[in-house]
Amino acid sequence: MNAAVNAVHLAVAANENLAEFSNLLIRSAMAVYALAFVAHIVEWVFGSRSRVARTAAALRAEGARSAERTGAAEEISVTVRTSGGTGVLDKPKVVTRSATGRRAGLPDGPGAAGGDERGDLYGRIAVSLTVLAFLLHFASVLTRALSVQRAPWGNMYEFSTAFSMVAVGAYLGFLVARKNVRWIGLPLVTTVLLDLGLAIVVFYTESDQLVPALDSYWLWIHVSLAIVCGALFYLGAVATLLYLFRDRYEAKLEAGGKPGAFASSVLERLPSAASLDGFAYRINAAVFPFWTFTIIAGAIWAENAWGRYWGWDPKEVWSFITWVGYACYLHARATAGWKGRRAAYLALIAFLCFLFNYYGVNVFFDGLHSYAGV
């Protein structure tokens, strides 16, 4: 009997030690993320400016080509048969073909400030520090899972740490695939630091076992999908927000305006508005079916836990509102009058709905999901 009690005490002590080690790792990850943040700032400040203003040059060149194409209208002779059927050629009809897609082929910026040797060095340092922080972050989430012997997203603290970890992992995955996404680095590490700071200061919950309703294999399916979808929606939202700034910058240049030096030096380093818009759309369109399944999986789990598929719980309602928001965005992209900035605003509204579901519902509403551990 005493041996069994001692074994239980040793197991509890081991779990507590792992939980403390997880807390140490997450704070270490935050310190390295902070260094990556500084490196990204230095990269943007000291990187090459040699490519700045090339968008204006491209627009001027394209404008000249467009004028030539518009001015050189094609003359097409149209055969008109008279009532007498003589087949006499009528007066030639002039058809003017207007230029289209004027801004579709603008060059992308270098991704961030990298371009010369020094700027690229700081960029590589920032990415290397982000990789190191991600490894510490992953180790923290893993040791938290080992300490509680379950999925490490049973409360708001655990959800937050896993959410930001997946977002960083997705960003690094795009880099490995050689995508021009270094421009995400600075907003990403900034957001991760804010998210982890909130997790530690506001949402921290001691490692513990789950309430009965959460003790299900659906925790691995439903919540993990929600985390992955939210992290990718976040990357799409960053691209959408930057698209709005870059699109306005290109429109001002196209109209003959002259943006400020700061706006030019920052926005010229981003991909073109068309590239940013396409990146955001591809992510949101790819993730949307998985978000749909996330809601369906939650309904199935709700039926197992509470005996009903849908009960208008605040978390359920805002998950559905988020789904409607992204559905409207995708529909808008398929509708000619709502492409571009209007569709981008819908995408940002949809992501704000996700954020409110993530933070606001758990903080401000009482419901069956209130056990999420604020």
251-265 pLDDT, tens digit each: 888 877 777 777 777
Note the helical H segments in the chain.
2-46, 54-71, 117-148, 156-176, 185-201, 218, 224-254, 261-267, 273-306, 314-333, 341-355, 361-364
SS3 call for 74: strand
Tell me the C-alpha distance between 314 and 307, whole Å. Answer: 17
* Residue 207 near residue 139, CB atoms below 8 Å: no
Tell me the C-alpha distance between 312 and 315, whole Å. Answer: 8
How many independent structural domains does the chain possess?
1
pLDDT, average across residues 72-78 = 39
What backbone torsions phi and psi does residue 180 show, to the nearest 5 degrees?
A: -80, 80
Does residue 97 form part of some domain?
no
Does residue 60 form part of some domain?
no
- Per-residue pLDDT tens digits for 163-174: 999 999 999 999
SS3 call for 113: coil
Tokens of 79: 């055969």
Does residue 364 form part of some domain?
yes
Does residue 355 form part of some domain?
yes
Q: Rounded to 5 degrees, what angle do the CA atoms 280, 284, 288 make?
A: 180
Tokens of 354: 């996700």
Q: Comparing 74-88, 233-247, 309-323, 352-366, which segment has the lowest mean pLDDT? A: 74-88
Does residue 264 form part of some domain?
yes
Task: Give me the domain span that covers residue 317.
Answer: 210-374
Does residue 284 form part of some domain?
yes
Residue 307 or residue 289, greater confidence: 289
Maximum CA extent, the chain? 117
Residue 124's contacts (CB-CB under 8 Å, 6 or more residues apart) are none
Does residue 283 form part of some domain?
yes
Residue 241's contacts (CB-CB under 8 Å, 6 or more residues apart) are 348
* Residue 168 near residue 227, CB atoms below 8 Å: no
Q: Side-chain half-sphere of 305: how many Cα atoms within 13 Å?
A: 19
pLDDT beyond 60 at 64: no
* Residue 159 near residue 369, CB atoms below 8 Å: no
**Percentage of the chain with pLDDT > 70?**
72
- Per-residue pLDDT tens digits for 134-193: 999 999 999 999 988 888 888 889 999 999 999 999 999 999 887 778 889 999 999 999
Q: What is the chain's alpha carbon radius of gyration, rounded to the nearest angstrom?
A: 27
What backbone torsions phi and psi does residue 339 show, to the nearest 5 degrees?
A: -75, 170
Whether pTM > 0.85 for this model: the answer is no
Q: Rounded to 5 degrees, what angle do the CA atoms 66, 71, 72 make?
A: 100
The candidate with the shortest Cα–Cα distance to 276, out of 247, 254, 250, 251, is 247
Q: How many other β-carbons are positioned within 10 Å of the β-carbon of residue 245?
A: 15
Tell me the C-alpha distance between 180 and 183, whole Å. Answer: 8
Burial (Cβ within 10 Å: 0-12, 13-18, ≥19) of residue 117: exposed
Tell me the C-alpha distance between 16 and 73, whole Å. Answer: 79
pLDDT beyond 90 at 3: no
Tell me the C-alpha distance between 32 and 138, whole Å. Answer: 13
Does residue 77 form part of some domain?
no
Tell me the C-alpha distance between 44 and 29, whole Å. Answer: 23
Residue 116 or residue 361, greater confidence: 361
pLDDT band (50, 70, 90) for residue 9: very low
